[in-house]
Amino acid sequence: MTSVRFDVAIVGTGHAGAQAAIALRQGGFDGSLALIGEEADLPYERPPLSKDYLSGTKTLSQIMLRPTTFWAERKIVTLLGRRVMQVEPGAHTLLLSDQTTVEYGVLIWAGGGHPRKLTCSGEALSGVHYVRTRADVDAILSRLSTIERAVVVGGGYIGLEAAASLRKLGKEVVVLEALERVLARVAGRELSTFFEQEHRTHGVDLRTGVAVEGILGQDGHVTGVQIAGGEMLSCDTVIVGIGIIPAVEPLRVAGATGATGVLVDQHCRTSLPDIFAIGDCAAHVNRFADGATIRLESVQNATDQALVVARTILGQPAPYDSLPWFWSNQFDLRLQTVGISAGHDSTVLRGDVKSRSFSIVYLKCGRVIALDCVNATRDYVQGRKLILDRAAPSIARLADGNVPLKELSIQ
- Residues near ligand FAD (CB under 6 A) are 11-17, 36-39, 46-47, 49-50, 83-84, 110-113, 131-132, 158, 247, 250, 279-280, 297-300, 302, 326-328
Confirm if 77 and 13 have CB atoms less than 8 A apart: no
In angstroms, rounded to a whole number, what is the distance separating the alpha carbons of residues 280 and 282? 6
CB 32 within 8 A of CB 131: no
Compare residues 39 and 304 and give the one whose CB is closer to ligand FAD: 39
Least CB distance from residue 279 to ligand FAD, whole Å? 2
| Nearest distance, CB of residue 225 and ligand FAD, angstroms | 21
Residue closer to ligand FAD (CB basis): 37 or 217: 37
Cα–Cα distance for residue pair 343/128, rounded to 1 Å: 35
Comparing CB distances to ligand FAD, the nearer of 216 and 306 is 306
CB closer to ligand FAD out of 47 and 401? 47
> Which of 131, 174 has the CB closer to ligand FAD?
131
Least Å distance between CB 79 and ligand FAD?
A: 9
**Is 122 or 154 the residue whose CB approaches ligand FAD more closely?**
154
Nearer to ligand FAD, 5 or 221 (CB): 5
Contacts for 230 with CB less than 8 Å, ≥ 6 apart: none
Query: Minimum distance from CB of 46 to ligand FAD (Å)?
Result: 3
Report in angstroms how near the CB of residue 122 gets to ligand FAD at its nearest. Answer: 23
**What is the nearest approach in angstroms of ligand FAD to the Cβ of residue 277?**
9
> Whose Cβ is closer to ligand FAD: residue 17's or residue 224's?
17
Least CB distance to ligand FAD at residue 188 (A): 19
Question: Would you say 52 or 123 has its CB closer to ligand FAD?
Answer: 52
CB of 244 to ligand FAD, least distance (A): 8
3-state SS, the chain, equals: CCEEEEEEEEECCCHHHHHHHHHHHHCCCCCCEEEECCCCCCCECCHHHHCHHHHCCCCHHHHECCCCCHHHHCCEEEECCCCEEEEECCCCEEEECCCCEEEEEEEEECCCEEECCCCCECCCCECEEECCCHHHHHHHHCCHHHCCEEEEECCCHHHHHHHHHHHHCCCEEEEEECCCCCCCCCCCHHHHHHHHHHHHHCCCEEEECCCEEEEEEECCEEEEEEECCCCEEECCEEEECCCEEECCHHHHHCCCCCCCCEECCCCCECCCCCEEECHHHEEEEEHHHCCEEECCCCHHHHHHHHHHHHHHHCCCCCCCCCCCEEEEEECCEEEEEEECCCCCCEEEEEEEHHHCEEEEEEEECCEEEEEEEECCHHHHHHHHHHHHCCCCCCHHHHHCCCCCHHHCCCC
Q: Which is nearer to ligand FAD, 83 or 397 (CB)?
A: 83
Residue 403 Cβ vs ligand FAD, minimum distance, rounded to whole Å: 29
State in angstroms the smallest separation of the CB of 310 from ligand FAD. Answer: 14
